[in-house]
Amino acid sequence: MLVSVVVVNWNRCNLLRACLESIRHQTGVRLEVIVVDNGSEDGSLEMVLQEFSGYPGFNVRTISNSDNRGFCAANNQGIALAQGEWIALLNNDAEAEPDWLAQLLKVTLDRPETGMVACKILVHEDPTRIDKAGHLIYLDGQNRGRGTGQIDRGQFDRIEEVLWPDGCAALYRRSMLEEIGGFDEDFFAYADDAELGMRGRIAGWSCIYTPHAVVRHHRGSTLGLLSTHRLMLIERNRVLFAVKLFPWSLLWLNAPFYLARIAAGLWAAMKGKGEVTRFPGLSGKLRIAAALVRGNLQALPLLPRMLRKRGALKPLRRLSNRQIRTLLIENRISLKELMEQAN
């Protein structure tokens, strides 16, 4: 069985090198690698061609874009070129343990309904700490990693169903992607994995999590944890995600849930916890507020398109609105946990 590993890169030559080394040392799996470069100017593509093209049995193909087309479009390019029955995504700032792919494939055996597999993602700088072990959702559309920031004490060490995988390190069944389509390129980056995963769930596919497939992730290396552009994209895409995929019974409640999240964020900041603490002082808080406003404003012109896409999904639906609502509620993150995490 062939697995296609797609790696998207933008100006992260050294991180990409370490990522590809970790893929090269995968055991027990026949694989191909597709590197999609989004117009890097740091020699990333040249490094791939010079250092990774001569290994026997390690097939690396490259796609070179003239500019940064974003995470979604670049992954779709890689997926279109992929030949494997399964398609794995691995961020250029992530490094996989040698049995990562083998363990991901192992849990799909005798599970034909599984369209996605999530793995245990640890913080690279402190591998005793969890980055993500699957995903959770807050009911305004904000999604977060399950267990983000927690010390790994084995609390997520069982194979189980989760909502969807994190796009940093995930495995997707080709037939699922052929049925539901790839990433929604209107998202550009952030929440794109949530949208794809939820679309898969609505179409009746499940997602299984295995703690035995492990990746270490350099968090926030693409735009940086202090980037207000990152915050703007997260906020914009939360709105697009909810409008496109939430049942109306939850969508009508979006504003109250959103206001509750903002209030909880302010309360967490007063206690020195959560995302807001990365932006100290009044000027930092104003930068966050401006990013949230920009995100909501930038979502507005895209809402008609999201509503059209919502309607186009009807033929794919295998879950009723009640089942979708139940799935989201059962996998929700509490306000307390959400606001005390640092995403």
3-state percent helix, strand, coil for the chain, nearest multiple of 5: 45, 20, 35
What is the CATH T-level fold of the domain 2-217, as seen in this structure?
Answer: Spore Coat Polysaccharide Biosynthesis Protein SpsA; Chain A (3.90.550)
Which amino acid does the sequence have at 177? L
Residue matched to tokens 């990774």: 52
**Is residue 341 very low, low, confident or very high in pLDDT (cuts 50, 70, 90)?**
low
Inter-residue contact 207 to 164 (CB < 8 Å): yes
Classify residue 332 by its DSSP letter. Answer: B
Q: Measure the CA–CA gap between 104 and 31, rounded to whole angstroms.
A: 13
Q: What are phi and psi of 121, to 5 degrees?
A: -110, 120
Domain coordinates in residue numbering, the chain: 2-217, 228-340
Contacts of 143 (CB under 8 A, 6+ apart): 135, 136, 137, 191, 194, 238, 241
Compute the residue count for the chain: 343
pLDDT tens-digit map of 29-76: 999 999 999 999 999 999 999 999 878 878 899 999 999 999 999 999
The pLDDT of residue 342 is 54
Helix ranges (DSSP H) in the chain:
13-24, 44-51, 70-81, 100-106, 174-180, 192-202, 228-245, 248-251, 254-270, 281-299, 303-312, 321-330, 335-340
**pLDDT tier at 280 (50, 70, 90 boundaries)?**
low
Distances (CA, A) of 177 to 200, 205, 232: 8, 11, 28
Of 288, 272, 294, the closest CA to residue 339 belongs to 272
pTM of the full predicted structure?
Answer: 0.94
**pLDDT category of residue 284 using cuts at 50, 70 and 90:** confident
pLDDT of 219 = 78
Whether the pLDDT of residue 14 is over 60: the answer is yes
